[in-house]
Structure formats: C-alpha cells, structure tokens
Structure 1
C-alpha cells in the first residue's frame, strides 16, 4: 500500500519542490492551492499525512488544521513562512503535530514525515493488525486468533478500508467511492447494510474493534485495548 501525502500550499514552486522529493521517496502526492480544495481532497481520498501552509485563499491553514483534527486521525505538518513564537503556538493549538518555517531543508522535512508516520503507526504493508485480528489485503483473508474468517469481497474491502485508518471518520459517500468505485450508482444505504453485516459477523468472535456510527455523517473503526 502506497502512502498518500497532501500538500496544501498556494505557492506553485513549493508544491513542485515537495512533489519532487516526495515522489522520489515513493509517496503518492495530492496537491491543493487553497484550503477548500484541500478539504475536498481529504473527503474523496485516503490521505496519510498533510503538509499545510498557513496563508492560503478560501480557507487558511489554521482552519484546515482544525478541520482535519476534528474529522481525521492523520499527522499534520504546518510548513509556513510565519515563524514567530505566537504563530507556532497557534499552530499547535489548532492541532498540528509539527511546525517548520520556510525556507526549509527538504531532507529534514522527509525525516520529520517518516517520524510522524511511524508515530501514527502507518505502515506500507499488506497486513493490517487489530490486536488479535490480522487482515491480509493481498490474500483477502482475515484471521482471528489464527482462525480463518471468510467475508464476501465488498465486506472485506469495506472493513480493510476502515481498519487501514483507525479512528478516521469516513462519510458514506467516501466509502462508496473507495470501495464500490466512482461509477457506482447505488444508494449510500448500501454502506449501512454492509456495516451491519460486518458487525454481526464479528460480534461473537472478537471484541478487538468497534465500528462507530457518527450520526448523519458516516463511520469510523476504533481499536479496543487488550
């Protein structure tokens, strides 16, 4: 699984520089030149880390940072020319995990990205582990305490999508696009039906995770502690 990084910055040269270094490291890059477009990208794609400038049109970096922290569980780096202590304080209050001031060293930024991804336990692998549950995205197999659990394809893909980002809230529309595809014309209630089936299948075999309904929005998977 390749890791996706969002760059939100209205400076084309900065985006081009970041894209060059991130692509060299094997990351998939999404770009936005304003905060509203960045928010749309987050809604429609699985993003593993966001690099955000503060001064952007339509929605500034502070607002975007607060929005990400409210709806997603991904690391954030504020990369901005605003280097005063009060600006840094505002950034961390808004929810950023790290703060770098322009001009910056791309190599140092890469180190910080890798450190944050490790901290958030985002791994580029085909195996997803939820305590005693192992989801193998390559073989389409799920084991609980070593015993195989069989799921229909769409239930498997839906569970794997949620489990890849524990704690992240997905809207029904996001899940439809990511699991059924952009061309799917069915009703979003399809998600509700499949979520119910997944819950029913695991209720008697494992309590390692819970899929939480966020009324009027969608679902998120939360890992329970042992």
Structure 2
C-alpha cells in the first residue's frame, strides 16, 4: 500500500461545516490536509502545497468549482474529485470534460469518499505504491504483474491495465465509455465493443465463468465484486 502521510489533500468548499468534517476524518486517516473556502484561496494554496488530491465543491460564490478545476489542472497533475449538490448529468459531464477525475453527489458517505481517494492514488500516483492488495488480487505495478489467489496471471499490456483499473475501482459501476476513456485514452476513438472483447478474455483467465467477479450491470457497464 502507501503511506498516507505522504499524500497531500486540498479541501475546497464554502461551507465551513463540510470542511471541518472532511478535515477531521482525513487527518485521522493520516493525510496531510489544507483547506480553502473560495477558489482564489484554493489556487494560491495549491501553488505552495502541491496537493496530490483536490476535493472540490462545484457551487461556490465567485469562482465556481469548474473554473478552479481547470486552473488546478494547469498547475499540476492533481487528481480532482468534484462534489455536486445534485446528482445531475450536466454537472457530471461538464466536470469530466474540463478535467475532473471523479465526482460525488452530496450528501455522501465518508467511506465512499475515502474509497475514491484510494482509487485516485492508485490510478494516478502509482510511484507512491509498493504493492496493492485488493481482496484476492495483488497488483505489482512496477513489474506490471497481477496475481489472483496467489497465481500470476498471463496478461497482455491492455489486459493488465484494464484488470488493474477494474480491481482498483471495485464496487463502482464503470460504463464502457468511461473504461475506454480511462484505459484506452480519450483520443483512442475506438468502438465500445472492444471493452466486451477484453472483459471476456479476462474472465476466462480468472475462471469467472459465472460472471460473479466481474459483473455485467445491464445498461450501465461493469462492476468488480470482491465480497
């Protein structure tokens, strides 16, 4: 895993109660925390603090979260998790389009936010990881190797990246479009059915003939279940 004390998180929200709640919870997890109640302050803090993760509210007076996200992304490779007051598709699409890495709708559980923070660290800052153990999986990113129930899987480069992505985001439903964007890249321009082809191949290598490990969520995408 990683040492949480090495991870810097910037909290940006105009509601002091939310900032205090998040600060207390995340400091108890060991993370380094800085906070801001407006966009200008967030940008100024980020220039000195150099956060790995920014948890950013969309609805703020003055400079909104979308503008702050764009400016933060210009400064560094910070991973941005946006908080929206409503689970609206428009906010989600706009946030992802301007560079946000994830989003959550208020109200949210601290446990889910923590899981998404872990996923962002594993996805975007693998150099901070020694070895990731998730359920029956061991991911050794430096060696591009995944072990399942103690056995090393024989995977192509793309199979490795896809399985790692699915496992790290276990419990979260991932659409084919999002998988294409995050694994193949925004400029890939491929067809979504390529995801089905690779999922089928990975299931065979895992012996997941009943699709109990990598579940198909009809009309939504795929979800890895480890329970």
Q: TM-score range by the shorter chain?
A: 0.5 to 0.7
**Aligned match for 2:223, one of 217, 220, 225:** 220
Measure the CA separation in 2 of the matches of 1:22 and 1:168: 29
Q: Is the 8 A contact 2:146 2:152 kept in 1?
A: yes
SS at 1:213 equivalent: strand
* 1:132 and 2:136 correspond: yes
Q: Give the match for residue 205 of structure 2.
A: 201
Q: CA deviation at 1:141?
A: 0.5
Q: Which residues of structure 1 form unaligned runs of 5+?
A: 42-46, 53-59, 69-73, 79-93, 99-112
Q: Give the match for residue 106 of structure 1.
A: none
**Aligned match for 1:27, one of 46, 52, 61:** 52
Measure the CA separation in 2 of the matches of 1:222 and 1:20: 41
Question: 1:119/1:159 Cα in 2 relative to 1: closer, same or farther (>3 Å)?
Answer: closer
* 1:15 and 2:15 correspond: no
**Aligned match for 2:109, one of 97, 109, 130:** 97
**Aligned match for 2:183, one of 168, 179, 186:** 179
Question: 1:187/1:6 Cα in 2 relative to 1: closer, same or farther (>3 Å)?
Answer: farther
Question: 1:131/1:174 Cα in 2 relative to 1: closer, same or farther (>3 Å)?
Answer: same
**Higher RCO structure, 1 or 2 (CA under 8 Å, sep 6+):** 1
Q: Which residues of structure 2 form unaligned runs of 5+?
A: 15-35, 70-77, 93-101, 123-128
Q: Report how many aligned residue pairs link the two structures.
A: 168
Measure the CA separation in 1 of the matches of 2:52 and 2:85: 22
Q: Give the match for residue 153 of structure 1.
A: 157
Q: CA deviation at 1:190?
A: 0.2
Q: Is the 8 A contact 2:10 2:53 kept in 1?
A: yes
Q: Over aligned residue pairs, what C-alpha RMSD do you find?
A: 4.6
Question: 1:13/1:49 Cα in 2 relative to 1: closer, same or farther (>3 Å)?
Answer: closer
Q: CA deviation at 1:181?
A: 1.2
- Output the TM-score relative to the length of structure 2: 0.55
Q: How does 1:74-113 map to 2 (within 5 A)?
A: 95-97=107-109
